[in-house]
Amino acid sequence: MPLAFLRWSVLLLLCLVASSALAGEAKVRRTKAKAKGTKLVRLKGGELLHHAAAAAFQRMSTEARAEGVSLRVTSGYRSRREQRWLYDRYRKGLGPKAARPGRSNHQRGLALDLVVGDVTTPTYDWLASNACRFGFRRTVQSEPWHWEYRPRTTRAPEAGQDCLGRDVGVETAPEPVANKDAS
């Protein structure tokens, strides 16, 4: 009888230790997530973005690809340290314009730099015509590559128009053509 009691005691003790250890681990995880503040998601190309911006970007990228435009991200989320490095380079005349640390939406994971070339390329035109439907818009006059996710203040186009207010022709399905040698 005392032996059985001892066994149960040991078992109970083990349970208590295990559960307190698990509780401790959960606590640590929560604290980490809170400290970070922003849930970041890694895009296919490797860049990180705020999870909501990443989801919107994935939808936009999929639609662009279906229309023959590939959207490549060269810079998404930046830590304060990365922003500081870019800003210092800019100040020394060694790199492109960069905002002062704390002043860039890249640090919130809400800004992304895309390979667009200039404002005359098909990629830029696609973005200018469509990005607003996904909550993205340009915010820096001199940087056609810099787009920010601002769904609350970005207006969706009127029905039948694109983001530039141009009429979007209703696409008519092409006449079916009989094709003998289908591949």
Q: Enumerate binding residues for Zn ion (CB under 5 A).
A: 113, 146
In this structure, which long-range contacts are made by residues 118-122, counting pairs with CB atoms below 8 Å and at least 24 apart in sequence? 118/144, 119/144, 122/68, 122/69
- H or E segment at 22? helix 2-36
Pairing between strand 73-75 and 48-50?
Answer: unpaired
Q: Tell me the closest approach of the beta carbon of residue 39 to Zn ion, in angstroms.
A: 20
Q: Which helix (H) or strand (E) holds 150?
A: none
Are 70 and 82 spatial neighbours (Cβ–Cβ below 8 Å)? no
- Of 121 and 157, the one with the shorter C-beta distance to Zn ion is 121
Residue 82 vs 113, nearer CB to Zn ion: 113
- Report helix angle 122-130 to 51-66, nearest 10: 120
**Residue 63 or residue 113: which is nearer to Zn ion going by CB?**
113
CA angle centred on 182, ends 176 and 183, rounded to 5°: 130
User: Shortest approach of Zn ion to residue 75 CB, angstroms?
Assistant: 6
| Closest separation in Å from C-beta 40 to Zn ion | 16
Residue type at position 124:
Y
Residue whose CB is less far from Zn ion, 113 or 162: 113
107 versus 130: smaller Cβ distance to Zn ion? 107
Kindly state the smallest distance separating residue 176's Cβ from Zn ion, in Å. Answer: 46
Least CB distance to Zn ion at residue 152 (A): 20
